Amino acid sequence: MLAMNYRGPYRVRADERPMPRILHPEDAIVRVTRSCICGSDLHLYHGMVPDTRVGMTFGHEFCGTVEQVGAEVRNLNVGDHVLVPFNIACGKCHFCQQGLFGNCHESNAQATAVGGIYGYSHTAGGYDGGQAQYVRVPYADVGPMVIPDWMDPDDAVLLTDVVPTGYQAAEMGGIQPGDTVVVFGAGPVGLMAARSAWLFGASRVIVIDHVEYRLDFARVFGPAEVYNFREIDDMVVFLKKLTDSLGPDVCIDAVGGDAAGSAIQTLLGTKLKLEAGNAIALHWAINSVKKGGIVSIVGVYGPTGNIIPIGNVVNKGITIRANQASVKRLLPRLIDHIKNGHMNPKAMITHRVPLTDVADAYHIFAAKLDGCIKPVLLPNGL
Amino acid sequence: MMTKAMVDTSAMPGWGVDADAENNPTWPMRQIDNQQTRGLSWQRPAQQHPHVEVLRSIEHNRLPAVIGTSTPPSGLSGAIRRYAFRRSESDWWHWLLLMGADRINVVEGVIEDLAHGKVPNIPAELGAKAEWKYNKKGFVLKAGTVLALGLGVAAMLRGGPRPDSAEEPAAPAEPATTMLPAPYWETPPVPAAPVVLIAPDIA
Ligand SMILES: [Zn+2]
Ligand SMILES: [Zn+2]
């Protein structure tokens, strides 16, 4: 079968690989129909995530048809078209039982701080991902969900990560009716967070980025007030001025360690790797949010450490909430939202690319060429 | 097994009088209403027995039930990874060693390709086709830089030990290095030879 093959920072290609096999009685093998490239794949692509081994296949946002099931799989049948949440979750452990499906204790040998994630380095379990024609899906009765007949597969594939991650970002913000919400990052997750903020009752949604075409998209898709940080001298002063000097009620970091802005953070985090990426978005979030406000983090950072003004968190009485999205917990609600027309995720898909062109797809997405917002790979054709 | 009540709290004055179920900032992410026990007490899924080497965080007291088996550790990078896994996730060296191993692994990947008779088409892997299509200016700048760098290296190699050409070797390499733009080509050291080989493919 054909699969994406990571060869080193900025270098990927599609190669023939052995078919995945059932390795556990609760496994399924899924034939991939759609597989997105995610902003967090770019952290891997840029070589920022420790224990990203050459030869691995990425891809944690995919849907496909069930090809084969293990002996203990009860809920899935061969031929079912399923969407597969990016979290690998057992459904039984201490954490899964609390609804923390992104924090499963039975899916990642290499680390305890994060649950297993498809195609996301060995730090997230060492699973080959879905940017391939076929993929092994562990705990097939827990994560995968049969795609409803009425649902467009383009919406379904976005329900595996970006929609629930953006939605959970807004949920963790504890947004109350009337709140002003600032979202840092106009990538797919930031766009979904902005859209979701309205569903929680925000009265004003502001999106910050530096990529003009994405800000233009956010203005309509959010809809949101948008600002380009390249044109702003001091982001924190600017946001205070927009909000009667008090600061926004809720700030959402939908950027993570691959941020731009702040030469010093870029030097320390991106170039020298002395911190786990560039934490400028989080820095801005903490320093601009209202006293007593909430900072919600869904941007991906590495496991070491970042320079953030933690003293200000204390002095301002800020609540910080963060997690990998618990996709399975959120799916029923999000499916309702799509059915009721409260959100239209598939509008974010700008590129549809055969798997053979995976290197170009990564480059277009990473370099933000050709107006790219969300690329989807089609490993088995249309 | 650890249970919720580790000590007899009934005799403790005021125990739990300020408990407030509403004051749970983790809800609904963490839903603990029906939680009876704590610790490693759940009914575990069947244990997968890995057929390849799998490294385990020392913060785990047992192997998780299901395991990823992509790309087991191998070579020098694998040896470094094994060593890194002697340290916890809280130890900076754990991660720095793994990052170091990742870089070495890239070189091993190229050697592996060559050993299988495959010359990696590095420009294609870097997405040169897309760069040419959507960012011609960037493409020309980067290709020019790599070419200059290649010529510089070639000149250096050619001019190295000759006693009669003292001024020749260092000079050409200098401007090429300072021109190197960020960040598209910067991470892997791009060997000079494949670029020339690949040129027809780009056009
Ligand atoms: Zn993702
Ligand atoms: Zn679990």
* Structure tokens that stand for A247 in this block: 């600061």
Complex prediction ipTM: 0.92
Nearby residues of A154 by Cβ (< 8 Å), 6 or more positions away: A34, A345, A346, A349, A376
Of A50, A128, A369, the CB nearest to B130: A369
Query: Does the beta-carbon distance from B54 to A126 stay under 8 Å?
Result: yes
What gap in Å lies between CA A215 and CA A228, rounded to an integer? Answer: 8
Burial class (CB in 10 A: 0-12, 13-18, 19+), A229: buried
Provide the shortest C-alpha distance from residue B183 to chain A (in Å). 9
pTM: 0.88
What's the pLDDT at B186? Answer: 35
Reading the block at residue B30, the tokens are 């963490």
Rounded to the nearest angstrom, the distance between the alpha carbon of B176 and the centre of ligand 1 is 37
Residue type, A316: K
Count of CB atoms situated within 10 Å of the CB of A342? 13
pLDDT at residue number B23: 82
With CA atoms as reference, report the closest residue to A57 among B68, B172, B145, B190: B68
Least Cα separation, residue B4 to chain A (angstroms): 13
- Chain A interface includes B105 (CB < 8 A): yes
Q: What is the mean pLDDT of residues A265-278?
A: 78
Q: What residues of chain A lie within 8 A of the CB of B128, using their CB?
A: 363
B73 touches A: beta carbon within 8 Å: yes
Q: Which residues surround ligand 1, an ion (CB under 5 A)?
A: A 38, 40, 61, 161
Using 70 as the pLDDT threshold, list the residues of chain B that sit under it: 1-5, 34-39, 159-203
Q: Are A202 and A179 in contact (CB under 8 A)?
A: yes
Report the length, in residues, of chain B. 203
> Using one digit for the tens of pLDDT, what is the confidence trace for A35-94?
999 999 999 999 989 999 999 999 999 999 999 999 999 999 999 999 999 999 999 999
Burial of A86 per CB tally in 10 Å (0-12, 13-18, 19+):
buried
Q: What is the model's pLDDT at position B34? A: 64
Question: Does B95 sit within 8 Å of A98, measured CB to CB?
Answer: no
Alpha carbon of A16 to ligand 1 centroid (Å): 24
For residue B67, the chain A residues in CB contact (below 8 A) are 23, 109, 125-126
Alpha helices in B20-135 (DSSP H): 75-84, 92-115, 122-125, 128-134
**pLDDT at residue A259 tops 60:** yes
- A200 confidence band (pLDDT: 50, 70, 90): very high
CB–CB of A303 and B95 under 8 A?
Answer: yes
CA A96 to chain CA centroid, nearest Å: 19
Task: Give the per-residue pLDDT at B160.
Answer: 54
> Cα(A18)–Cα(B113) distance, rounded to whole angstroms?
17
CA pair distance A106, B176, nearest whole angstrom: 51
Q: Which residues of A347-369 are buried (b: 16+ CB within 10 A; e: fewer)?
A: bbbbbebebebbbbbbbbbbbbb
Starting from the CA of residue A160, give the closest ligand. 1
Give chain B positions within 8 Å (CB) of A141: none
What pLDDT, on the 0 to 100 scale, is given for residue B156?
82
Q: What is the pLDDT of residue A374?
A: 97
| CA dihedral over A63, A68, A70, A72, signed as positive or negative | positive
* Angle, alpha carbons A277-B183-A57 (nearest 5°): 70
A33 in Cβ contact with A153 (< 8 Å) = yes
What single DSSP character describes residue A268? I
A53·B60 Cβ contact <8 A: no
Write down the residue that tokens 């963490």 correspond to: B30
pLDDT higher at A270 or A322: A322
Q: What share of chain A is helix, strand, coil (3-state, %, to 5)?
A: 30, 25, 45
- For residue A235, how many other CB atoms are within 10 A of its CB? 22
Query: What are A287's two structure tokens?
Result: 């320093």
Of A157, A196, A188, which is closest to residue A296 (Cα–Cα)? A196
DSSP one-letter code for A271: I
Looking at the CA of A102, which ligand is closest? 2
Residues 6 or more apart from B126 whose CB is under 8 A from it?
A10, A11, A359, A363, B184, B185
d(Cα A30, Cα A119) in Å, to the nearest integer?
14
> If you ran DSSP here, which 8-state letter would residue A101 be given?
G
Beta-bridged to residue A378, according to DSSP, are A354
Residues with Cβ within 8 Å of residue B45, at least 6 apart in sequence: A24, A26, A90, A92, A106, A139, B65, B66
Confidence of residue A115 (pLDDT cuts 50, 70, 90): very high
Q: Do A302 and B129 touch (CB under 8 A)?
A: no
Residue A265's pLDDT is: 80
Per-residue model confidence as pLDDT tens digits over A310-339: 999 999 999 999 999 999 999 999 999 999
Spatial separation of the C-alpha atoms in residues A120 and A45, rounded to whole Å: 10
**Residue whose C-alpha is closest to residue A192's, from A46, A375, A373:** A373
pLDDT value of position B201: 37
Using CB atoms, which residue from B32, B56, B64 is nearest to A106? Answer: B64
List of chain A residues whose C-beta atoms are within 8 Å of the C-beta of residue B64: 105-109, 116
Distance A25 CA to ligand 2 centre (A): 16
Which one-letter amino acid corresponds to residue A177? P
Distance from CA of B198 to the nearest CA of A (A): 15
Region A223-239 average pLDDT: 96
State the smallest CA–CA distance between residue B192 and chain A in angstroms: 16
Nearest to A87 by CA among A335, A329, A327, A256: A327
Q: What is the pLDDT of residues B2-20, one digit of tens each?
A: 455 678 888 889 888 988 8
Other CB atoms within 10 Å distance of the CB of residue B108:
20
B81 to chain A, any CB pair closer than 8 A? The answer is yes
pLDDT digits (tens, 9 = 90+) for A147-189: 999 999 999 999 999 999 999 999 999 999 999 999 999 999 9
What pLDDT sits at residue A381? 86
A348-359 pLDDT, tens digit each? 999 999 999 999
Question: CA A168, CA A117: separation in Å to the nearest integer?
Answer: 17
| Separation between Cα atoms, residue A55 and residue A16, nearest integer Å | 11
Quick check: B28 contacting A, CB < 8 Å?
Answer: yes
Chain A residues whose CB is inside 8 A of the B35 CB are 97-98
Q: Which residues contact A261 (CB under 8 A, 6 or more apart)?
A: A210, A229, A230, A235, A278, A280, A281
Residue with tokens 């075409």: A213
- State the ligand closest to the CA atom of B66: 2
Asked if residue A88 lies in contact with residue A117, where contact means CB atoms within 8 angstroms, the answer is yes
B173 and chain A in contact, CB less than 8 A? no
Strand, helix or coil for residue A81:
strand
- The predicted structure's pLDDT at residue A5: 98
By the 10 Å C-beta count (0-12 exposed, 13-18 middle, 19+ buried), A84 is classed as: buried
Exposed, middle or buried, A312 (CB in 10 Å: 0-12/13-18/19+)? middle
pLDDT at residue A64, rounded to an integer: 98
Chain B residue numbers with beta carbons less than 8 Å from the beta carbon of A298 are: none
